Amino acid sequence: MDYTLTEDQEQLRRLVEEFVARDVKPYWEKLGYEDFPWPLFRQLGDLGLAAIPFPAEYGGGGLDYSSYIVVLEDLSRLGSHLGSVLSVHGLPQLIINHFGTDAQKQKYLPAMARAELLGAFALTEPHAGSDAANINTRAELRGDKYILRGQKIWITHGGEADVYIVMAVTEKGKGAKGVSSFIVEKGTPGLAFGKRERPMGLPHHTREVFFEDCEIPRGNLIGREGDGFKVAMTALDSGRITVAATSIGTAQEAFDHALRYSTERRAFGQAISEFQGIQFMLADMAAAIEAARCVTRKAAWLRDRELPFNAIASMAKLLATDSAMKVTTDAVQIYGGYGTSEDYPVQALMRQAKIGQIVEGTNQIQRMIIARELLKKFKE
């Protein structure tokens, strides 16, 4: 495994760095974070970045996850806003690409790659998230249509997205085996949106989604009935690598600010970077970022080689998001009182870091996944 970037990855990284400096930063400064950043999303499509790891025959970039995470990390340098958009847009693309029929792929993937259609993934409900076998949304086959009834919550891109992958129960009492997944397009009668939940630091992100006798064609089923749990877990295994990458970008940004600030701020006649107490914090922050980046790259590397990667992906998600929380919190600490001010960048990064420990399975769930993998060989 090679830790240096390939020539192509370095080019991609520089492209993203330039895009962030030239267009993303001024956009946030001018328009703030309240609304979904449509112009930036469309621009990701123009730059060829809206479908990096998906096949070129459906308009994707045809690159590997190792390249994809380089882009995600740098896209998250000003916070996870845009990195998360790309990462969440990737879940329905991954599902359609992996499990969809050719007709479904033709219909959605090229338009999603061009960023003409935005994707969303609707699993979580008020009383079930990672416990996907216990969701309540129902899908009932009637003739050549499925009728969906139920409620989803915390749906990233809810209300904005054009294409929703929805998990619903097709056969009650069968637990995980009774769950199926469907494509629901925005504009379908019965698909309704609730209020924004305004997660901390990411106000544009999520919304409640309702299905009120929402009729969709039978052809919108993904795979077969009962495949839903497998579909969701496949998407989340890969999604965890992308959450890790966006968290690392956010942590690196906070660290770079704190490092520079520590050399400028003076106390007791010297820069605070001269104090061992600050130096140890900086060293721990740098070490945590580096370690998280290495394990995240390893997860991508394994995935690219079609080797088992799900426990490592969980480790990457766990380490990267915990590190991001710690690093951004310490960055605020190094800034002292200024760190808490909205006029300085680090508090916003700290607020955004928290959700990383919760999404795509809480970090407690990640530990369960890792432990299950560790103990597997002792089970009969």
User: Which is closer to other proteins, CB of 42 or CB of 138?
Assistant: 42
User: Which is closer to other proteins, CB of 29 or CB of 102?
Assistant: 29
User: Which is closer to other proteins, CB of 48 or CB of 194?
Assistant: 48
C-beta of 26: minimal distance to other proteins in Å? 14
C-beta of 165: minimal distance to other proteins in Å? 24
C-beta of 306: minimal distance to other proteins in Å? 22
* Total chain residues near other proteins (CB under 8 A): 17
Write each residue from 53 to 92 as x if it is in contact with other proteins (CB under 8 A), else as -, in one continuous string: --------xxx-----------------------------
Residues 30-59 that bind other proteins (CB under 8 A): 46-49, 52
Residue 265 token pair: 């701020």
Residue 92 token pair: 């329905």
Task: Decide: is 10 part of the binding site for other proteins (CB under 8 A).
Answer: yes
Residues recognised as catalytic: 360
Longest dimension (CA), the chain: 80
Among residues 14, 25, 174, 372, the one that binds other proteins under rule CB under 8 A: 14
Q: Are 250 and 349 in contact (CB under 8 A)?
A: yes
C-beta of 304: minimal distance to other proteins in Å? 17
Q: CA-CA distance, 257 to 298, in Å (whole number)?
A: 27
Q: Given the rule CB under 8 A, which residues bind other proteins?
A: 7-8, 10-12, 14-15, 18-19, 46-49, 52, 61-63
